[in-house]
Structure 1
Amino acid sequence: MGDPHRVGIVGLGFISGAYLETLRDQPAVRVTAVADLDPARAAAVAAELPDAEAVSVERLLGGADVDTVLNLTIPAAHAEITLRAIDAGKNVFVEKPLAVTFPDGRAVIDRAAAAGVQIGCAPDTVLGTGTQTARAAIDGGLIGRPISATAVMVTPGHERWHPNPDFYYTAGGGPLLDMGPYYISALIHLLGPVRAVVGAASRLRTDRVIGSGPREGRRIPVEVDTHVSGVLEHANGALSTITTSFDGVATTAAPIEVHGESGTLSVPDPNHFDGESRLFPLDGTAWQPLPTSAGYTGAGRGSGLLDLVTADEHRTPRAGGELALHVLETMTAVLRSAGEGRRIELTTAVERPSPVPLTPVDEWFLSR
């Protein structure tokens, strides 16, 4: 493999711990620098990594010891930090969404192409055995021609567990931009790109109460819609219906179901890497669990970054920037449709990423 790929992490909030669990022991990469608005937090993280130095954002972006920037800042800062990294000649893997607005996302992809650097973007959960086994079932013809899909995410709101949930309820937040990337990325892996959307949205209340941490009991304003539904028209003719909500309590709906001419497929939660896929065939009498047949086994947050840095001329990144831009346009078009009351055709198109063969945990980062 040669020398490990050098990674610098910007933003050391809640999600960074999950990424570090994956990256710290992977021989394909080495974390060399970390930066955060809180220098003490950066110093504490660096102390746990043998090769990392706590530095300023400017030093990390400009440092010769960083090949790829892992951008884990809040959504409102995604485009700014990513563009600065691109201008410094760095590859970037950014936490979802790619940007808060579609024009900002378009600027990221265009500038990266001009600079000759790679862009990757979460979610990478769809590269695990859960979504990939479901995809293998569809590609193998187990449900016949896909006709439609449903995707459902219902929760009473992240403020119940997150100590600093403010950004979920400001521009760039809300249930669709926060959780939609998991479901829409999975739907694109399963059914292919989206060509048009129709959306509707609502807002249950104007403020939320933080439920944990040092700010418990404090009220925060809600500036975005917190229940969003959309119909996605896929290029292959299938129709997906998606519901994302911070206003509900619970649901019995499967995270994703795909309906075909000869069967229905129940797909596990795309916010997780694994999970059981189940098939109900047309002439069957019960759900049949499917054996795990595809995907990175034992994967965790950061698997998409590893997939990015091991891509080559034979395989493009499976959680790449073009896919993230298409997901971003799909989501922002649903929100725009909800506001304007009309069907909106998308301007982007993307190829389905290549499938992930079933790859054992000790080999998966070398997969091509």
Structure 2
Amino acid sequence: MGDPHRVGIVGLGHISGAYLGTLANHPGVTITAVADLDPSRSAAVAAALPTARALPVEDLLAGEVQTVLNLTVPAAHASVALGAIGHSLHVYGEKPLAASLEEASVIVSAASAAGLTVGCAPDTVLGTGIQTARAFVDGGGIGRPVAASAVMVTPGHERWHPNPDFYYLPGGGPLLDMGPYYLSALVHLLGPIRSVTGASSRPRDQRVIGTGPRAGSPVPVEVDTHVTGILEHDGGALSTITTSFDAVRTTAAPIEVHGETGTLAVPDPNRFDGDVRLFELGASEWRVLPPSAGYAEAARGIGLLDQIAYGQTTDGQTIGGRTASGAPRASGDLALHILDAMTALLRSSAEGRRIDLTTTVERPPLVPLTPRSEWSGG
């Protein structure tokens, strides 16, 4: 395996715990530094990691890390990513890649010019749920795919998150926050998106925090909180997507893919696993497909491990005994395409017209069925 890959984490909020659960004890990774706007938080995390130091962001970027794991709020994604690239560091970040398409394009271009790798969440699509569904579609299991639907509704993250402000600021909202899970899955399943038509609304101009020390405090809403749209894929399939912070619940499958000979009910793309169910033409009931592809029992951070494996192919090293082919599956190019689709949906809603995307992307390679023992290093 060689020396562990040195990772520095910037941003130690709610999601960082999930990443640390995957990476902290991985034999292929060493977390050497952590940084946060709250020094006490970075000090507490560093105290729990024997290899890590709590540092200011600039010191972390100028130190000995190889990849920056960017877990800041969306408004800071671009500045941290570009700072890392400016120090010749690879970057893997939380979604969206940046708060605007322009910033995201600069990140991808700067990394390419510097010969660096950019990756971006979500990596949930690399688990057995989405990958099993994709393998079945690719194998012709539902015939020619003609349509898909994706639905995400929730009353809003302020009900459970103690500091939900950023969800309602530019770079947030249900589409930019949750849409990447669904749109990334749709691209894996059906290929890149060529055009979109959208509609959106903002029923309330403020929310009220429901938990934590700020419970009862108002949060201003600066983005649309119900977004729906039609996606035209390069292969000819049409998808519909609904993301909402204004509804309560739905009985719809998170994603359904319809083909000429069958329909797949695809599990929640916010999770790594879940049953893939098939209803074939002429059948009388749904049946569950066994897992056939994807990282088994995966968790947040598998996308970073996949990226590191890709970056190490030149010297023959791998993470967990398996080397990714082509490009990192949770790539900056894919994240840029997803952000292009999301911002185009919002523009379409505002302007009342169909919009062609300015980007495209190759579908990431399918993940072979990979036991946990392989990707986790034991």
Query: Smaller-chain TM-score range?
Result: over 0.9
| Equivalent residue, structure 2, for 1:343 | 354
Correspondence list, 1:1-368, <5 A? 1-63=1-63, 65-311=64-310, 312=313, 314-364=325-375
In the alignment, the residues of structure 1 paired with residue 24 and residue 293 of structure 2 have an alpha-carbon distance, to the nearest angstrom, of 25
Q: Percent identity?
A: 68
5+ long unaligned stretches in structure 1: none
In the alignment, the residues of structure 1 paired with residue 69 and residue 25 of structure 2 have an alpha-carbon distance, to the nearest angstrom, of 16
1:333 to partner: Cα distance: 0.4
CA RMSD in angstroms comes to 0.8
Secondary structure of the equivalent of 1:60? helix
In the alignment, the residues of structure 1 paired with residue 17 and residue 70 of structure 2 have an alpha-carbon distance, to the nearest angstrom, of 13
- Residues 331-367 of structure 1 show CA distances to partners (whole Å, capped at 9, x for unaligned) of 000000000000000111101100001000010268x
Moved more, 356-365 or 219-228: 356-365
- Residues 112-165 of structure 1 show CA distances to partners (whole Å, capped at 9, x for unaligned) of 011111000000000000100111110111100000000000000000000000
TM-score, normalisation: structure 1: 0.98
1:315 to partner: Cα distance: 2.7
1:316 to partner: Cα distance: 1.0
- Residues 287-318 of structure 1 show CA distances to partners (whole Å, capped at 9, x for unaligned) of 11111111001211010000000013643100
In the alignment, the residues of structure 1 paired with residue 12 and residue 99 of structure 2 have an alpha-carbon distance, to the nearest angstrom, of 20
In the alignment, the residues of structure 1 paired with residue 119 and residue 30 of structure 2 have an alpha-carbon distance, to the nearest angstrom, of 17
In the alignment, the residues of structure 2 paired with residue 241 and residue 355 of structure 1 have an alpha-carbon distance, to the nearest angstrom, of 23
In the alignment, the residues of structure 1 paired with residue 335 and residue 223 of structure 2 have an alpha-carbon distance, to the nearest angstrom, of 21
In the alignment, the residues of structure 2 paired with residue 328 and residue 87 of structure 1 have an alpha-carbon distance, to the nearest angstrom, of 23
- Residues 170-189 of structure 1 show CA distances to partners (whole Å, capped at 9, x for unaligned) of 11110000000000000000
Contact 1:310/1:365 (CA < 8 Å) preserved in 2? no
Extract structure 1 runs of 4+ deviating beyond 4 A. none
Give 1:60's aligned amino acid: L
Give 2:263's aligned amino acid: T
In the alignment, the residues of structure 1 paired with residue 222 and residue 305 of structure 2 have an alpha-carbon distance, to the nearest angstrom, of 35
In the alignment, the residues of structure 1 paired with residue 347 and residue 79 of structure 2 have an alpha-carbon distance, to the nearest angstrom, of 23
Secondary structure of the equivalent of 2:6? strand
TM-score, normalisation: structure 2: 0.96
Instruction: Provide the aligned length of Structure 1 versus Structure 2.
Output: 365
Contact 1:307/1:365 (CA < 8 Å) preserved in 2? no
Contact 1:8/1:33 (CA < 8 Å) preserved in 2? yes
Secondary structure of the equivalent of 2:373? coil
5+ long unaligned stretches in structure 2: 315-324
Give 1:219's aligned amino acid: P
Give 2:351's aligned amino acid: E
Secondary structure of the equivalent of 1:34? strand
In the alignment, the residues of structure 2 paired with residue 347 and residue 174 of structure 1 have an alpha-carbon distance, to the nearest angstrom, of 22
Secondary structure of the equivalent of 2:134? helix
